[in-house]
Chains A and B, each alone.
Chain A
Amino acid sequence: MKCNQIRELLPDLAAGLNAVTPETQEHIRACPACAGKLEDIRKTMALLDEWQALEPSPYFDVRLQARLREEAAQLRAGWLHRIRIPALALALSMMIAVGVGLFRGDRSKVPPVRPVALEKLEPGTAVGDLQALDKNHELYADFDVLDDLEVQQDVTANP
């Protein structure tokens, strides 16, 4: 193996992420330059270890759950918002259709208006008298004749 091939493996070797093959090991043992590079990278990595990891705060899960709930609520609201206008339009169309249907249905079901049969009413009732007068229209036509009759003088209205 050549030095430039070995050098690209050095970060993984220094981090202990890759098993060292016998060939690589042999090269590093025989090549002071590559051995030096490996040592430098090891020291650099050891220095980088000083940058310690950070523990998630105790509220991490609570906040994540809250964000997930918020997300779910937004999704539901978004879904309702998306279907609201089509649903309203559909409901309105159905109401119009039902209204038109009822109107037409009512018209076809309304029984034809039949002339009210005139019943014979008892004389003395208001309707009966009016009917009697209506029948006596010939008499009214000759009403002027009555004016020509002489009035009997000795008759009083209230004896």
Chain B
Amino acid sequence: MTSIASQAQAETATPLPGLAEGLTDAEVMLRVKVGDESAFEYLVQKYRRAMVNFMYRMSHNAAVSEDLAQEVFLRVYRSRSSYEASAKFTTWLYRVATNLAMNHARDTRQERPENMVSLDEPNTETGTTMDVADGSLTAEEALVRRERLAAIRNKVQALPERQRMAVIMHKYQQMDYRQIADVLKLSESATKSLLFRAYETLRQQLKDFI
């Protein structure tokens, strides 16, 4: 079983010197609380990729996802003095992240997507991306791939907010039911049901590509 923490640990470069091994993230955060800047840097390095990816899948925009991920860490830093190790650090981190992502989604709901330019998403009219094309694919294969990718993004985006967050945490952040339930403040059985409905919807909506 892969947990979000172990996944993040695997993504991390060498832990910062001076930080005792074997500390839980909550214990590291308690060191941040007493003013250990290197402990905060350790947590940033450990979770920055996970946060950028979570925000990217929530916002569909690379630049915005970095801004939002940075905002998550800023909020963690701001709240360090009031941190209590009553819950897992990742639960707290993802609660901050989901709140930010939801606020961002609500704030930008009125923005017309056609007015937004993204470097990594295909243009809805031309179907072309601004990034370098994958040279191993033929033009037709690349087109099919882009269509499939656009469908995945759109169908995930079209899910109800809580289902969307649950799927992103489950599928892309490798969080289990218990962790997702804690972040979304739901019961474990409600989370199971939420995820099952979400995957069922995606299966039906994406059946042409499966």
Contact = CB atoms under 8 A, between A and B. Distances in A.
Nearest to B171: A48
A53 B152 CA distance: 14
A54 interface: yes
B176 A18 contact: yes
Interface residues of B, number: 43
B152 A15 contact: no
Interface string B158-197: 0000000001001110101100000000000100110110
The B interface is mostly helix, strand or loop, or mixed, namely helix
A40 B73 CA distance: 37
Interface in A56-115: 56-57, 60-61, 63-64, 67-68, 71
Contacts of A64: 44, 48, 70, 73-74
A48 B202 contact: yes
A28 interface: no
B49 interface: yes
A45 B171 contact: yes
B210 A47 contact: yes
A43 interface: yes
Taking each of A19, A44, A50, which has the highest tally of chain B beta carbons within 10 Å of its own beta carbon? A44
Contacts of B149: 50-51
B31 to A, nearest CB: 17
B65 A54 contact: yes
Interface of B: 1-2, 44, 48-49, 52-53, 56-57, 62, 65-66, 69-70, 73-74, 77-78, 120, 145, 148-149, 152-153, 156, 167, 170-172, 174, 176-177, 189, 192-193, 195-196, 199, 202-203, 206, 209-210
